[in-house]
Chains A and B, each alone.
Chain A
Amino acid sequence: MKYGLTFAALVAATAATADPLTIYAPDYFASEWGPGPAIKAAFEAECDCEIEYVTGDLLPRILLEGERTKADVAIGFNSDVTKKARETGLFAPHGLDLSPLTLPLEWTDDTFLPFNWSYTAFIYDNTKIKNPPASFHELVNSDEDWSIAIQDPRTSISGLALVLWGKEVFGDDAEAAWAKLAPKVTTVTKGWSEAYGLFTDGEVDMVLSYTTSPAYHIIAEEDNTKSAALFDEGHYFMVELAAKLKGTDQPELADEFMAFILSPTFQNIIPTANWSYPAALPRDQWPEAFSELNYPEKAIFLNEDEADALRDEAIAEWRTAFSQ
């Protein structure tokens, strides 16, 4: 009997360690400078289980693996690409009450759960630029010789957001607007890092990034020289999402983690670990620097179907204008 108990305890112990909750995440998320490690520690303290992150290109990887994926939860989708993810049929409804969400717009998706968000914006050095553009139209039409670095919409999610943002603001005149902006754009980079590096090195005056970027400089570097230029037309709303896999072999634990995403514990980690806005935390509970950041009045958002329908046309217009 005693042996039986010991054996049972052993089996239970090995089961707990042998089968962790496998979470697929983008590389930045699980790295030690991302929010992943703190979230892992906080969740493991509550659940008596183990989280294992698997990093890489999130969506391509899940599409490659299909039904046989080991993922229990996938975190880090962008709303502009969830259509493709949803069509795979690999994801299960989260079944959660969405009332804790504090997004600037209504969110009713029953599968993809927001965990953080931000607005795309042009970040500039406020010691060099005293009269930043107050609207997208002003940026495009201005005679100032600003130099800007942006990301390519074909290789970068923030680059895609810019193109969709422009399409929403300028509509049928988008191509003409890009053609006017093109001379001010010093270069287009493959990813966010290259462009932001050019900005911090002083190679360009402005960079396409997020309204939350200055918070990093304020909090981590005590540097107040970086600001986001706020536009009257509104800013493109970028949200990151998590979803539970239908084929998970740990449905309860996956559900538990999905619920944990909306908890204050998780949400409080987001601002200073991810440098973005938390999805389920009232503004008065954000870190001070975040509350002080200038905050857009209006969100521009395309749901996944709209984004998908517009994408090819918007990229082609951008590309034609920028290839002149």
Chain B
Amino acid sequence: MAHRVFAIRLWPGLIAAALVAALSLGTLGVVALRAESFSTLSKFDWMAVRFTVVQALISAGLSVVLAIPVARGLARRDFYGRRLLITLLGAPFILPTIVAILGLTAVFGKTGFVSIALNWAGLGPISIYGFHGVILAHVFFNLPLATRLLLQGWGAIPSERFRLAASLNFAPRDIFRHIEGPMLKEIVPGAFAVIFLICTTSFAVALTFGGGPKATTVELAIYEAFRYDFNLGKASLLALIQVVICAVAAFVSLKFRVPQVGGAGLDRPVQRFDVHMLSARGLDLFWIVMVSLFLLLPLLAIVLRGAHGLFDLPSSVWSAALRSLVTALGSAALAIILSLSLSLSALRWRWLEGVGMTAIAASPLVMGTGLYIVLFAVADPADWALFITGLVNAVMSLPFILRAIGPALAATERNYGRLSDSLGLTGWTRVRLVLWPRLRGPVGFSAGLAAALSMGDLGVIALFARPDSATLPLQIYRLMGSYRMDQAMGAALLLLGLSLALFYIFDLWGRRRA
């Protein structure tokens, strides 16, 4: 293995990994150290663990399985507004939970669009509340991410393979078996793992749509231990269990991952000769329309609900929006630096990517508390509120970003590494000519994702904020907390618009041909 280009550059990855580990596991350690006693877990806690794992498995499985036909349809069709649709389909993933809850009930609730339609058809209303509601909400959140990750996989298949397939007279089934299948084997396990992890740390959404305490997740138990009993020992014990669940999931998924073998191409635009059959068209149309309805109707509901509140927002909401924007941009920059460092170094040391994945296992509440304890010893935590929000969100978005950047980087090295070595391409030249053109897409997408996620996050700031340094999501909660539901929905619409705009700009930049 003569990948000299990275032989001397392991330190950025090590630094990044150390930072991530300090934030995810270090903060947990700090909280555990402050604990006075470690109580044992009750049967309720174990029920929570069971529920968490079961619903996360089903949610992740469904999200990924549904994403396959959707991503395939989006990958092989070209229609007017396709790019915009792809961006919009990413929106649910970046919604703040409280907004998503109201958007989903507007569609699937007792008085929602679906029940109204069913009433017309003479059928009874549906109930969203229950175990199926948790799954529905989690698929709503995570199907967009799964679709995007798979879409990137499709985008990375060299066009020469499809030409070869056409010349060999492959039927769609053969194409799936020889070209698309191997790609999925590489991408799906990672996508499944990351969504599984997201679903394990869900809390407010699972509770609301679960309809009651049956839908108690570990994260909720952590919250309870912290907020009410101030039992730091129990909170850190539960957080540790959450980390173990996530570690097992990450390990299993990496075990199942089958790296593709196959030649590289010459970066020609993809032409598909197998997609003009009526059956394939009908199939793609069906999936794209169904998923668009499922994901976009709740967004439409948010737009309708927030439209009239948008024009009567107090100035403080706008200044909070500006604060959120700046934080989001900083967070995105940091996330990209960290993930590139990790991914590059992970080419040599695979385990570094695993460290990056641990971030999602960390409970935001425990992370925030740990940071608070550390900061309080040396400074006024409130002064650091926005910085901490940006930092925590950068680290929290690493798992998704690593799933987007890692495979692209690994494939590039696999396909062009030896050639680059033989040409003596090293250092920045190699990055510029070989790596960057292939990374630009994933990097743009990732920066957009990190920025949008940071925009919508409420997690850490709630423990730190000053009245005058609120972020936009915090202002939305404040408006709701003081009965101003219409203004809150207006502010939510503003947040949705800003997050999408950020995401779209970065994503567009990434997809411009370098």
Contacts and interface: CB of A to CB of B under 8 A. Distances in A.
A221 to B, nearest CB: 9
Interface residues of B, number: 57
Contacts of A217: 483
A237 interface: no
B463 A27 contact: no
A147 B483 CA distance: 21
Interface stretch (B81-89, B190-198, B206-214): B206-214
Nearest to B317: A32
B286 interface: no
Contacts of A53: 466-467
Contact of B466 (A54, A152, A200, A204): A54
A33 B467 contact: no
A155 B478 contact: no
A112 to B, nearest CB: 17
Nearest to A220: B483
A190 B129 contact: no
B214 A194 contact: no
Interface stretch (A42-50, A61-69, A284-292): A61-69
B369 A64 contact: yes
Interface string A46-78: 000000011111011101110010100000000
A189 B208 contact: yes
A222 to B, nearest CB: 14
Tell me the interface secondary structure of chain B in the complex: helix
A123 to B, nearest CB: 11
A27 B478 contact: yes
A60 B305 CA distance: 35
Contact of B213 (A33, A64, A152, A202): A152
Contact of A59 (B34, B101, B230, B373): B230
Nearest to A25: B467
B120 interface: no
Interface centre among B204, B207, B464, B477 (most CB of A within 10 A): B207
A155 B220 contact: yes
Interface string B19-47: 00000000000000010000000001001
A32 B314 CA distance: 10
B169 to A, nearest CB: 55
A81 B212 CA distance: 23
B466 A196 contact: no
B480 A197 contact: yes
B467 A31 contact: yes
Interface string A187-224: 11111111011101111100000000100110010000
Contacts of B334: none
Contact of B230 (A63, A191, A319): A63
A190 B204 contact: yes
Interface centre among B209, B227, B467 (most CB of A within 10 A): B467
A191 B369 CA distance: 20
B220 A194 contact: no
Interface string B360-381: 0000000001001100100010
Interface residues of A, number: 57
B271 interface: no
B491 to A, nearest CB: 12
B183 to A, nearest CB: 40
Interface string A168-195: 0000000000000010011111111110
Interface in B171-220: 203-204, 207-214, 220
Contacts of A28: 478, 481-482
A56 B111 contact: no
Given A194-B98, A201-B102, A323-B212, A57 B227 contact: yes
B434 interface: no
A283 interface: no
A56 B463 contact: yes
A86 interface: no
Interface of A: 27-28, 30-34, 36, 53-57, 59-61, 63-65, 68, 70, 81, 84, 147, 152, 154-155, 160, 182, 185-194, 196-198, 200-204, 213, 216-217, 220, 275, 316, 318-319, 322-323
CB-CB nearest 5 A-B residue pairs: A33-B482, A193-B480, A154-B224, A30-B467, A31-B478
Interface of B: 34, 44, 47, 98, 101-102, 105-106, 109-111, 127, 129, 203-204, 207-214, 220, 223-224, 226-228, 230, 305, 314, 316, 369, 372-373, 376, 380, 382, 462-467, 470, 474, 477-485, 488
Given A36-B467, A201-B305, 4 more contacts: A31-B470, A187-B211, A188-B207, A202-B111
